[in-house]
Amino acid sequence: MTSMAALLALFLLAASAMSGGVQAQPLVPAVISFGDSTVDVGNNNYLPRAVFKANYAPYGQSFARHEPTGRFSDGKIVTDITADTLGFESYAPPYLSPQASGKNLLVGANFASAASSYHDDTAAMYDAITLTQQLEYYKEYQSKLAAVAGRAAARSILSGALYVVSTGTGDFLQNYYHNASLSRRYDVARYCGLLIGIFSDFADKLYKLGARRIGVTSMPPLGCLPASIRLYGEGHGGCVARLNRDAETFNRKLNATVEALKGRHADLKIAIFDIYTPLRKLADAPVEQGFANARGTCCRTGKAKTRVYLCNPTTAGTCRNASSYVFFDGVHPSEAANVFMAESMVEAGIELVT
């Protein structure tokens, strides 16, 4: 199915969901997210020691109210766009925020934390919420939801919800590539195996806790992120082939593991949200997709090694038109690129919500 046909199918589904009653119903009751800055919607703002936060301009400049929320982009991130497509009128709140209470919990919760990763050690190095702790918060959320919705309704929300797991970039960029003790102990293939083992275990635990629809993002083309080109590039400004090969190794193993999870749990819908292919397409041929710049960052980043990832908090300065940039900062796509990626995920999405 082409992505246009897939979009149309999803639109028809949404329309038929709406024709039933007066109130439009989203296609799934809730969206529950785990992971890193690709899906963090503000949890790190509540962690005093967290190294990575997006709580300053120009983050959020084209989001609602044009204010920073903790999202690492100029506007919407992929899960926002997915929630829009599914028919939600509000986004699941960051779990650590005061908004994560009462009826707001009915549409889900977001446990993601920038600089978190599959490997808890990576998250701990940056004072982010480890994946293990995110799962603990999720268990706590289950009881809070039962208190708000009642036990039976909570169970059906939890089994109907779409679960998104989006993490792992930090295990490479913020750990493996500059951690000699790690790279001595594991070659890339074995390191990918270690991370995938953590994912597989996490998915099994989610399943045991009631999840039945899980979407996991693939590893992005690590070598095409502007920060990677700065730190590991060969000077010609092109994508770093070695890093992209590592991402492909990870993604092959992820594919096999997702197939294995399907085999183990007949009533589990699980799919890969492939972000590698669309981002690679944008990085290789931006103009064909309506972008002018795929190598630079829209906002001015810092120069120090640890600062090339994010917009510089002290020199606010952005490009004139974020929609013409694939990347907003050193690692995170612009809203326009997120829209492009979300469109290419519709097919996997349909597999999960129907």
Contact between 227 and ligand NAG per CB under 6 A: no
What string of H, E and C letters represents the secondary structure of the chain? CCHHHHHHHHHHHHHHHHHCCCCCCCCCCCEEEEECCCCCCCHHHHCCCCCCCCCCCCCCCCCHHHCCCCCCCCCCCHHHHHHHHHCCCCCCCECCCCCCCHHHHHHEEECCCCCCCCCHHHHHHCCCCCHHHHHHHHHHHHHHHHHHHCHHHHHHHHHHCEEEEECCHHHHHCCHHHCHHHHHHCCHHHHHHHHHHHHHHHHHHHHHCCCCEEEEECCCCHHHCHHHHHHHCCCCCCCCHHHHHHHHHHHHHHHHHHHHHHHHCCCCEEEEECCHHHHHHHHHCCHHHCCCECCCCCECECCCCCCCCCECCCCCCECCCHHHECECCCCCECHHHHHHHHHHCHHHHHHHHC
CB of 219 to ligand NAG, least distance (A): 13
Number of amino acids touching ligand NAG (CB under 6 A): 19
Contact between 179 and ligand NAG per CB under 6 A: yes
Nearer to ligand NAG, 135 or 339 (CB): 339
Nearer to ligand NAG, 135 or 182 (CB): 182
CA distance between the termini of the chain: 15
Contact between 182 and ligand NAG per CB under 6 A: yes
Residues with a catalytic annotation lie at 37, 329, 332
Site string for ligand NAG, 283-322 (x = CB under 6 A): -------xxx----------------------------x-
Q: Which residue is nearest to ligand NAG (CB)?
A: 121
Site string for ligand NAG, 105-134 (x = CB under 6 A): --------------x-xx--x---------
Contact between 192 and ligand NAG per CB under 6 A: no
Contact residues for 213 (Cβ-Cβ < 8 A; gap 6+): 28, 160, 161, 162, 163, 268, 269, 270, 352, 353
Scanning residues 33 to 52, which ones bind ligand NAG (CB under 6 A)? none
- Give the residue from 224, 44, 201 showing the smallest Cα distance to 193: 201
Site string for ligand NAG, 245-274 (x = CB under 6 A): ----------x--xx-----------xx--
Nearer to ligand NAG, 124 or 146 (CB): 124
Residue in 249, 277, 324, 344 binding ligand NAG, rule: CB under 6 A: 324
Nearer to ligand NAG, 97 or 166 (CB): 166
Scanning residues 63 to 102, which ones bind ligand NAG (CB under 6 A)? none
Nearer to ligand NAG, 114 or 294 (CB): 294
CB of 330 to ligand NAG, least distance (A): 19
Contact between 175 and ligand NAG per CB under 6 A: yes
Nearer to ligand NAG, 56 or 177 (CB): 177
CB of 122 to ligand NAG, least distance (A): 6
Under the rule (CB under 6 A), what is the footprint of ligand NAG?
119, 121-122, 125, 175, 179, 181-182, 255, 258-259, 271-272, 290-292, 321, 323-324
